[in-house]
């Protein structure tokens, strides 16, 4: 009879809390009423029920402490980019206006952007070069378009410069050997050749092409004291007179090489170029320089 009364009391308490949610993991921490009691699962009864965080008496061995509340949300926390939330009542969330992207401007090398709607960015091909995938079977790459396509230059002889040949002989007076007394100098220029924009390598035009020779003047005998010195130059200049490629030889019998050897170098230009040659011979010296120079386009 006593057990039945206890059961009826428990059922009455549960009826008074109609709509409440049973939670074994936690309970309402806000102002919504919260109850704690002891559940006997075998008999289906609740004992020691109290409007508090603990039952009116400790639960027995076969009882489980439970919490009852009229709330269905215990807390709502706003995450990154959100505002609102709370621990009870009607809770809402909203996007944090400070976290909303209001405009996107393209930086260096980009196009696109905007201040609303769907926006996008793209590489600006007028600033950033696309990947170059083309090649040239012959010649070299002369230009690259915005799309990465290549234009190929024609490889071959683009022109020939020929200033003739200069022979210079210094004085045969052996008393002047090793001095600049009795020296001679000559120079000559070729006709100009017009070139399209490109890169060129000057080379001897053929077996009789450009070359030079510096030696002791013939007929002076084997006297080792007969010193000599000669200079043989070839200068390729553009239409305003700038040297774009040069050939230098400056030898003496003493083993001096005052200007160091220089061979014609590769150059890039567009427009007219011409060849100037120079031969200078001190006393007791013979110098020869000249011959056609072919301009081989390499790029």
Of 45, 69, 93, which residue constitutes the final position of a domain? Answer: 69
What pLDDT does residue 231 have? 92
What pLDDT does residue 61 have? 87
What pLDDT does residue 255 have? 65
What pLDDT does residue 257 have? 61
Judge if 43 and 161 occupy the same domain. no
CATH code of the domain in which 198 resides: 2.60.120
What pLDDT does residue 158 have? 87
What pLDDT does residue 139 have? 56
What pLDDT does residue 286 have? 93
What pLDDT does residue 188 have? 96
For residue 44, being part of any structural domain is answered with yes
Instruction: Walk along the chain (299 residues) in steps of 10 and give the mean pLDDT of each run.
Output: 41 42 44 84 86 90 84 75 77 77 82 80 82 72 77 78 95 83 91 91 90 88 74 95 94 70 92 95 92 90
Judge if 59 and 175 occupy the same domain. no
Q: Which domain holds residue 60?
A: 2-69
pTM over the 0.85 mark: no
For residue 115, being part of any structural domain is answered with no
Cβ-based neighbours of 20, under 8 Å, separated by 6 or more: 35, 68, 69, 70
Judge if 288 and 160 occupy the same domain. yes
What pLDDT does residue 138 have? 61
Number of folded domains that form the chain: 2
Judge if 272 and 171 occupy the same domain. yes
């Amino acid at each position: 009879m006593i057990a039945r009364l206890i059961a009826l009391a428990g059922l009455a308490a549960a009826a008074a809390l109609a709509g409440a949610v049973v939670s074994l993991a936690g309970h309402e921490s806000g102002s919504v009423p919260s109850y704690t009691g002891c559940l006997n699962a075998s008999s289906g009864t609740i004992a020691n029920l109290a409007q508090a965080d603990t039952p009116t008496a400790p639960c027995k061995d076969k009882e489980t402490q439970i919490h009852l509340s009229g709330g269905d949300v215990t807390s709502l926390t706003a995450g990154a980019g959100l505002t609102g939330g709370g621990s009870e009542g009607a809770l809402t969330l909203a996007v944090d206006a400070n976290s909303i992207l209001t405009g996107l401007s393209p930086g260096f090398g980009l196009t696109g952007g905007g201040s609303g709607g769907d926006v996008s960015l793209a590489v600006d091909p007028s600033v950033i070069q696309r990947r170059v995938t083309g090649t040239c079977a012959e010649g070299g790459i002369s230009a690259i378009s915005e799309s990465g396509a290549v234009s190929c230059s024609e490889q071959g002889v683009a022109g020939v410069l020929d200033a003739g040949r200069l022979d210079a002989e210094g004085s045969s007076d052996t008393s002047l050997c090793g001095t600049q007394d009795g020296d001679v100098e000559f120079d000559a220029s070729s006709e100009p050749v017009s070139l399209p924009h490109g890169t060129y390598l000057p080379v001897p035009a053929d077996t009789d092409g450009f070359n030079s020779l510096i030696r002791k003047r013939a007929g002076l005998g084997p006297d080792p004291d007969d010193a000599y010195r000669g200079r043989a130059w070839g200068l390729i200049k553009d239409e305003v007179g700038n040297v774009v490629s040069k050939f230098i030889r400056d030898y003496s019998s003493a083993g001096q090489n005052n200007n160091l050897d220089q061979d014609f170098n590769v150059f890039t230009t567009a427009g007219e170029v011409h060849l100037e040659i120079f031969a200078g011979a001190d006393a007791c010296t013979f110098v020869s320089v000249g011959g056609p120079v072919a301009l081989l386009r390499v790029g």
